[in-house]
Structures are given as structure tokens and as C-alpha cells.
A and B are shown apart, each in its own frame.
Chain A
Amino acid sequence: MTATTSARIREVRRPGAANRRPGTPTALRWELRKLAAQARARYTLLGSLLAPVLLVLVLDGQQRPPKDNIYGRHIHDSGYAMPLLVLGFAAQWVFPLLTALVAGDIFASEDQHGTWKTVLTRSVSRTQIFWAKTVASVLFALSVLLLLAASTITASSLIVGRQSLVGLTGQLLPSHAALPLVLASWATAIAPLIGFTAVAVLLSVVSRNPAVGVVGPVVIGLVMQLAGSLGGLDAVRHLLLTTPFESWHGLLTEDRFSGPLIDGLLVSAGWTVVCLAVAYAVLRRRDITGG
């Protein structure tokens, strides 16, 4: 230490400092800045931008399209088919994984780094930290979805073309009508994606383990897919968080139906509210000891 340390301490502790208290937006900026500094978050966003381009190139070059998947047989016929094929595929495990990469880690990483006590001994409350992390997770998930959608639709339109699209009931959708429907189809993934974000947040808070927070939602999503494919479980199927990912089908039929869309919104909202409520209660009551 230098001889002038005492003088500097007195200088640091000068009176009359401004006393504005930080709010949740401040905590959100804090979390977003941390997120921006994480290689994992940056690479996930970059991957969401570039991977669809590669996928479109590969699928477009294939002589045998994936006919078993919805819109798989039409990928060479219209540039709007490829985004719907990718949407159906991503719903199986890609969306849960991509959102969980951040949401599943965002609380548990504070335990991993032992930084809870560093953060919670400042001027922000647990409630503010909770909402800042949750909103940051949702923003990240929406960014990933936006990048995937934009990249897939743009790449497919440029590489395959903007031909008319065949609807799910065989009707022909002209290009100008197909694009809004494709965009709307991707938008239907927002609600269940937020639901999976909430699941990841819950696992992150409860387990305090980033691995559980990241892998857990993927496993839960796959189990739900499996349960949804079993016969005789229709009542349960409606309550699964994976079912709303299929609600866009109603947008591409001759007679459009919105029942699955509304059900999907309600189910996603239910999962989101329950998971976040439990996560919030656990975090509020937790004794910060080791971390």
C-alpha cells in the first residue's frame, strides 16, 4: 500500500454523494451486460444466425427430401416450406435447448461462481434480481427465435425461391399470402418458448446446478414429446408444453382454426406462471450460505 492511501480513502468517502436507488431496469442492464460478455451466449446467437443458412444449403442440395417430416416433401417446391420444416424440427428439442443455455444457467451460475452474496449485499433486492434474470432469459430466448426465423426464412427465400406454398389441406397459398403465414407460424412458438424458459429458470433456481438447468428442459421436452405421441393420453397431451409448438398447423389449413393456438397460449401461460411463482418463492426464502 502506498503512503497516500489514507488520503485517497478520505477522498473516496467524500460526503454529498447522490443517493439514487437502482431499480429493476438497472438490474436488467447489469444482467444483460454479463450475458453479452459470455461466450456461450454470443456463440448461441451467432449459431442461430448461421446454422439455418447451412441447414438450408444442405437440405436444398439433397436429392431425397425428408418426406417423413411435415413440409419435408415440399422443400424443393417453395422457399416457404423450409422454414416450416425447420420450425417443426426445432420444436422437438432445439428450442428447449437454446433457451435453456441461458435460462438454465442464469441463476445457477451465481451459485457456481459463489457470487450471490456479492450481488445481494448491494442495493438491489432479490425480487429485482429475480425479475432482471427472468426478463433477460426471455429476451435471450426471443432473440434466438427471431434470429432463427429471420435467418431461415431469408436463406430459404434466397436459395430456393419465393414460390407459392401448398397448405396443409392441399390448397395453394400464393407467395404474398404464404410469407405472413410462415411468420405467424414462427410467432406461435413464442408462448411455449417462454414456457420452456420458465421451466429452465425453475430448474436453475432449485437445482443450483447449471448442468441440470440446461439439460433438464431438453429432457423434459423429449419426455413430453414421447408422452404426446402415446395413444390414450389426449387429456394429458393438451397440458403438455410441447403441444403448443404444433398450434401453427391451424394457420395453414383451408379453414383456419384457432383452438390449438388459444389452448397453447393458455397452457404456456400456465406453465410459465407456475414455474416462475415456484422459482420466485424458492429464491426469496433461500438462505444464502455457501454462495
Chain B
Amino acid sequence: MTALLEVSGLSVSFDGFRAINNLSFSIGPAELRAIIGPNGAGKTTFMDIVTGKTRPDTGSVTFGERSISLLGMNEARIAREGIGRKFQRPTVFEDQTVTDNLILALKAPRSPWRVLGWRPKAPDMARVQALAEEVGLGDHLARKSGELSHGQKQWLEIAMLLAQEPKLLLVDEPAAGMTPAEREQTTTLLVSLAKTRAVVVVEHDMDFVRRLNCRVTVLHEGSVLAEGSLDHVTQNAQVINVYLGRG
């Protein structure tokens, strides 16, 4: 199995502080991976680099079957390559309807000229309807997304990510602020999504990671400390020392 995302020798510093230090990491095309680590371990910086928000000082990031380099691409270009990102806080376009939000996310040409001429066709609207039903918003298509509850916005954002049809999904602390029932649903969703694409979950919550039942990468001070099943890494002496031991 060749890697979908391959990161090697990555380093970046902010004002002398090494946020990422010679990090190497890879993930396959249909894999669920959890990244854990204490605060300041470089989890968010890692996501920022992959999505093009931050430029690394050294190292390489390659993506896809043809192993194209993501460095030097802007955020929009990387998103079009097939990397989706879910933020911690639900971010939907509150002034627009659920339908508009989903149409914005639908996989379609993104350039201004092409968008000017784009009109929704029957398959597009059917897809929007299907996606909305998928996340329980089938009856709310015409509503402004700003009127939705917090949970509904969360699900709308997930539907928007699905509409993008990404090959790699980066999910930032999905369990934060969720009820136990919602966590259960989110776990099921992430596991089922990872059957057809790569999903990287950055998470603090050990219980949540245990439920995902997947390979775990432990970051510490910007590099990989340990990798393997959760049980494997939790027995690693170094991991216990820097991370688990504190809690």
C-alpha cells in the first residue's frame, strides 16, 4: 500500500521555537489515524502545514497517487487536490441557506469564470438533498444555517466536507464540546468514512481515541515519539513519561 500523504524531515520554527522538529509521517489511502500529544506538541501546526496555512522551513509533503508536492501550493489549491479540514468550531456560512452552503461545497469547478456560468442541475440538487438527509437536515434545506442549533451546524459542516469528496480528511478535536451521544455518532461516522478515504483525527481525549480503535501517532516537541495501537503506545515508557504520566 503506497502512502496517500507522506511527510518527511519536516521542520518549522516560530521566533526560534521549533514547533515541528524533523517530523516524518505517512498515511495510506483508506486509513483512520489518531494523532495525540500534549499541548504544544505540534499537532495543529502539522495540520496547518498540510493544508497550506503555514510554510515549513525544511522537509517535504507529498500527496496522492502521483506524489505531488503540496509545498508552494496555496490553501485553495490543496483543498482542490482533495484535502478537507474540519475545524473545532463549526464554521458554516450563517447568512446563507443550508442548500446554498451545500452547493458551495459540492465538488465542481472553482474558478470565478466557471462558477459564473454554473447552474444547479437535477443531479446536483439530488445530491444536496441526499447529503442533507444523510445528516438529518433534509427538512431544513431552505432555512438559513444561522438559525440551526449548534449540533445541526456541526452536522451541516460534516455534510459540506462530504460534498467536497476529499481523499484525506483532517479533523481537529471532534469530540470537544459534544454530548456522549454525539460522540458515539461521531465515532461511527469517522470509522465509516475511513473505509473509503484517509481520515486523520487530532484529539486530546483518550477515551475517544480508544473508541476509534485505530493506529495512533504520539507527537512530542514536534516529532513522532511513538506509533502503533493505543495499547502499544500507552505502554511505551517515554510516552508515559511525557504525556500520560502528567495527567
Q: Do chains A and B stick together as partners?
A: no
Which B residues are closer than 8 A to A by beta carbons?
Answer: none
